[in-house]
Every structure is written in C-alpha cells, then in structure tokens.
Structure 1
C-alpha cells in the first residue's frame, strides 16, 4: 500500500539550539536530543541515525496538531534536574534538493515541557544531517495525514 502524504512548504528557522547543544547558554552542552536518545531507544524508538538536533520548519500561515502520533512516551524522566516530559513522534519526509529523507516530527508536549517552547506553526524535525541548509530557505515536508492535522489559523 502506498503512503499518502500531506505536502507542505515551510521555511527553515533558527530554534533555541538547545536540542543540538549549540546554544551558548544551554544547560545541556551535549544537547537534549543526544541525552534523550537512550531513553527513547529503551521505549522502542531508535533515533540514533538522525542528526542530534532538530530542523525547525515554520509552516505559517498553517498551524498543526498531532492527533494520532506514531509514538507517544509519557512521563519520560530524561534529566535529573527537570520534571518528566511527554514526547510524541510522527513519521514524515523532508524533501531537500529533490531528494526525500525519512524523518520524524519531534514534539515535546508543551504542557510537560519546562521551557524553550515553539509556536504552533513550527515543526521540529529529526532527520539525517543535510548539506546546504540555510535559515530562511524554503523546504518541503511530507506529513502523515493519519497522524497530524494542518489548518489555517
């Protein structure tokens, strides 16, 4: 059976750089993704082949809502100094330079996240390292319509 996708165009935007550990003031110098990877792996999701950071893509004027994510992990205590968080992941594809790359929407639930929030038009994507990316660049995403809703504000 062929996967049906929602295709959306977004703009690569600069995030908080905490996921990758590149933020100068980050309390997590190795990055949150690298710290969280073993916890997700223990729960059945291996993200170790992806870049240890997120690709932030703003899809404005659209917003999104995950309603049936492929994975949801509740009360993940990945850091001794923060409360447990809930994370969801939804399959996606990143289309860059005419090539499709497998990815996952990485969604730390805001109601359990202590700080570094994204707006509801910015998707955080886990995928392999991609060359020739720039902030402000347009990029295509294929999103799974059985897991996410895309709508106008």
Structure 2
C-alpha cells in the first residue's frame, strides 16, 4: 500500500466478536473456526491466507456505520461447509498499526445477503491479520485503508 495517495488512517477499538471465525465459541458449528474451513476455498479462488492468523480482529469504529465501496477480491456463492448454504465474501487489502509496527491485513466481509447468522454491528469490521501476541479487547489500533474502498458514516 506504500505510495497510494488515498490511504486514510482510522482509529478503532478491538472488541469481542462471536468467536465463530476462530472456533473459540462454545456453540460454534465450526470447531476449527470458519476462517480455517474457508481458507482452502479462498486459496483455490486466488486468495492465499497462509500468512495470516485464521481468526478475525473485531474492529469497532467511532461512527454510525461503515459503507463498503468496492473490494479487492469478491468471491460469490462459496460452498464451504456441508449442510449450510453458500456464502459470498469480500476482501479489502489494508494495514493495521499496533505498538508502532505496521502489519499487512485484510478486511474480511461476508456478504450480509448470504450470511445466515452472526452478523456484525454496522460500525464494526472483521480484520484478518498475522497473529498479534498480546492483543486484547479494548486495545486501540489504526486501520490504514484506501479511501476508495470504505467510508465511515457519521
């Protein structure tokens, strides 16, 4: 993302999510976590998640809602779990700043029109990043993203 003129820095707070992506939820239908199960399908479609921790950081922003304008990758009708309907997914390349270091990351956005349950609040995004040892709920981070891809609605 170096050299992009439209990069914006947006602060966010790490909040607890449904813990379905990581598989940590006691009632998760996906004990390995949904991201680990989805990763081979995304790889076949051209997006390799092997450099990332297979869970999401739930990022809450100080706004009413976040509008997605476009995606770097959009995968339609991915049938990744037996017994469940296909879902569509969008990904946006981004970076996160934490403890004075930048990490390449991806905004992970299951399409709300195909997602059955476990939706996120309108002012939250799910972010896939490398494992950040010591990251905790309440931590403040910065999202670096091209303004052509998302918009915060105050």
TM-score range, shorter chain: over 0.9
| Matching residue within 101, 107, 119 for 1:99 | 101
SS in 1 for 2:37: helix
User: Which residue is equivalent to 1:44?
Assistant: 46
TM-score (structure 2 length as normaliser): 0.95
Report the more deviating stretch, 134-143 or 30-39.
Answer: 134-143
Measure how far apart 1:63 and its partner are. 2.2
Q: How does 1:35-114 map to 2 (within 5 A)?
A: 35-114=37-116
TM-score by structure 1 length?
A: 0.95
Q: Which residue of 1 aligns with 2:3?
A: 2
Which ranges of 4 or more aligned residues in structure 1 deviate by more than 4 Å? none
Aligned residues: 152
Contact preservation (8 Å) 1:82, 1:114: no
- Preserved contact between residue 11 and residue 137 of structure 1 (Cα < 8 Å): yes
Aligned Cα RMSD in Å? Answer: 1.1
> Are residues 1:127 and 2:129 paired?
yes
Q: Give the deviation of 1:151 after TM superposition.
A: 2.1
Distance 2:148 2:138 in 1: 29
CA contact under 8 A between 2:63 and 2:152: conserved in structure 1? no
How far, CA to CA, are the matches of 2:46 and 2:136 in structure 1? 32
SS in 1 for 2:137: coil
Unaligned runs of 5+ in 2: none
> In the aligned structure 1, how far is the partner of 2:92 from the partner of 2:83?
27
Q: CA deviation at 1:62?
A: 4.7
- Alignment gaps of 5+ in structure 1: none
Q: Does 1:147 align with 2:149?
A: yes
Q: Distance in 2 between matches of 1:85 and 1:78?
A: 8
